[in-house]
Structure 1
């Protein structure tokens, strides 16, 4: 029997999931339409890939966690947990690497450095998709063997549950090895954000030396990109905190509220960042305003027909 608090958490999680699917679906749809109408664009490819991976991530999170809560016997007694783990590796790392590539794209497109390495990277910005695929493959090559080994060891032991009986140091090492690609991608995003802040600071300083008091286009672009990157880093931290809380639930399965709080925190990242991207991208923002206007017109027509 669910308590009132459990019901509130479930309602919040379902609301977050619906918003996430709608927001990311809108981003993917708009970029696909633009690609068909005009031509392939790098930012469109990254945003579409990010939106699709986040929709899959939301569905996987909800399916996995709700089955864990409402059908624990089915969840643990079959190969379902193993299949979900493999899908989780593919989708989670794809989502994170697409977001990292978006951070790198904003950095190379907007930042202004005279460094030779930066200029070399900037001239090769169109190779970001190849970089993404390469990093994803390397990340999977690191993660999959450790995951396969974990399930093989579990089957050899003929264990009846999935609670953690290893030492804290061993568990920490396993998690680091398993998430090596995720740690590297997050470090890249953090680095690009710091460098973008430095670029903005240098640009503002140059504007002050030139006695220019107003904010130019370059400054506005810096600020918009920084908002997207900083929000991504903050929400990613919350996402990882939520995942850690959910993993902790395996050690204390009697505390169901702990799992519900972890789900609410982890789902916050894929849905809220999608709306930040819509507001931060001029094309997506204009498309959302047009969609809202059309919805208002449809409502007015329905009211007129009703009267």
Structure 2
């Protein structure tokens, strides 16, 4: 394995570890006080808290994984590698489902309707949001638990052309199909539908404001537009990340150490990229981060 690839990945890890952990920690701290507050506006902050916490744990996990790989500790006990893979995929699935809840929340907040049926659904969604978050965590853990005994590890015979862990990883085909369907396709479809409905609703609001006076102010519309734009970027990031993971588990590609390190470098940037998207899509977070950076 080329030392240039190892050095490049360590440099990227150091940059993403510092920036990603810093920004995600700020998101967690600023939104922690909203966790117990069950209201329309603060449910958004509670979701940001969960997403920031998940990203922080994922960022720390990536640092821990890199340390284990650097010192070849996986070769001492391959079960440790299986546990790390399972934990990592579980956190990724939780993140994808949190993106879905966030997109649904943005749509529910954007739609203004006085119909009693809609108001009941809206109230039910806000009151059930903590339960949905917990259920998505349990669901992700249940889906990825079989990874521990279905993942096949092949010890590399050629040390100069192997992954940093010393193993080539082959995931079970049934797991890939099942996980792709229920851990990605279903929440990804729900997110896309929510974003599509949010965009169409936002465009109708803008057209109504152009024709007559509306109770929505320009600042409110800009806030909705920012939220929708953030969700569009988030869903594109999740799709790109899923595509990278699929490439990473493809057997013809994992046998190439260069491709392996390129894909792993892209994975390292995932929590940091999410943090930047959330910060620049939220003026309060953006001002808080900029203020702390100036200090």
TM class by smaller structure? 0.7 to 0.9
- Alignment deviations for residues 88-113 of structure 1 (CA, whole Å, 9 cap, x no partner): 24322222222322222222112346
How many residues matched?
279
The answer (yes or no) to whether the contact 2:90–2:144 under 8 Å persists in 1 is no
Question: Which residue in 2 is equivalent to 1:23?
Answer: 23
- Alignment deviations for residues 121-174 of structure 1 (CA, whole Å, 9 cap, x no partner): 322223211122223333433443x435515xx69xxx76765789xxx82x43
SS in 1 for 2:269: helix
The answer (yes or no) to whether the contact 1:58–1:270 under 8 Å persists in 2 is yes
The answer (yes or no) to whether the contact 1:10–1:260 under 8 Å persists in 2 is no
Question: How does 1:281-292 map onto structure 2 within 5 Å?
Answer: 281-292=282-293
Question: Which residue in 1 is equivalent to 2:184?
Answer: 182
Change (3 A) 1:247 1:184: same
SS in 2 for 1:266: helix
Question: Which residue in 2 is equivalent to 1:60?
Answer: 61
Question: Which residue in 1 is equivalent to 2:203?
Answer: 201
- Alignment deviations for residues 15-74 of structure 1 (CA, whole Å, 9 cap, x no partner): 123211111011112223x459x9674333222221111111123234335645762861
Question: Which residue in 2 is equivalent to 1:87?
Answer: 87
Question: How does 1:262-277 map onto structure 2 within 5 Å?
Answer: 262-277=263-278
Question: Which residue in 2 is equivalent to 1:237?
Answer: 239
1:6: how far off?
4.1
Change (3 A) 1:118 1:196: farther
Question: Which residue in 2 is equivalent to 1:226?
Answer: 228
TM-score norm. by structure 2 comes to: 0.78
- Alignment deviations for residues 196-242 of structure 1 (CA, whole Å, 9 cap, x no partner): 11111211222233288x97234212211112101101111222123
Please give the alpha-carbon distance, in whole angstroms, between the structure 1 residues aligned to 2:221 and 2:56: 33
Please give the alpha-carbon distance, in whole angstroms, between the structure 1 residues aligned to 2:83 and 2:282: 36
Larger Rg: 1
Please give the alpha-carbon distance, in whole angstroms, between the structure 2 residues aligned to 1:142 and 1:39: 31
Q: Where does structure 1 lack aligned partners over 5 or more consecutive residues?
A: 296-307
Question: Which residue in 1 is equivalent to 2:102?
Answer: 102
- Alignment deviations for residues 241-272 of structure 1 (CA, whole Å, 9 cap, x no partner): 23223323x54455222122112222333112
Please give the alpha-carbon distance, in whole angstroms, between the structure 1 residues aligned to 2:230 and 2:128: 22
Question: Which residue in 2 is equivalent to 1:44?
Answer: 45
Question: Which residue in 2 is equivalent to 1:261?
Answer: 262
The answer (yes or no) to whether the contact 2:110–2:202 under 8 Å persists in 1 is no
Question: Which residue in 1 is equivalent to 2:218?
Answer: 216
Q: Which range is displaced more, 135-144 or 219-228?
A: 135-144
TM-score norm. by structure 1 comes to: 0.76
SS in 2 for 1:123: helix
Change (3 A) 1:96 1:292: same
Question: Which residue in 2 is equivalent to 1:278?
Answer: 279
Please give the alpha-carbon distance, in whole angstroms, between the structure 2 residues aligned to 1:118 and 1:83: 43
Question: Which residue in 2 is equivalent to 1:304?
Answer: none
Structural RMSD (CA): 3.4
Please give the alpha-carbon distance, in whole angstroms, between the structure 1 residues aligned to 2:37 and 2:209: 36
Q: Where does structure 2 lack aligned partners over 5 or more consecutive residues?
A: 157-166
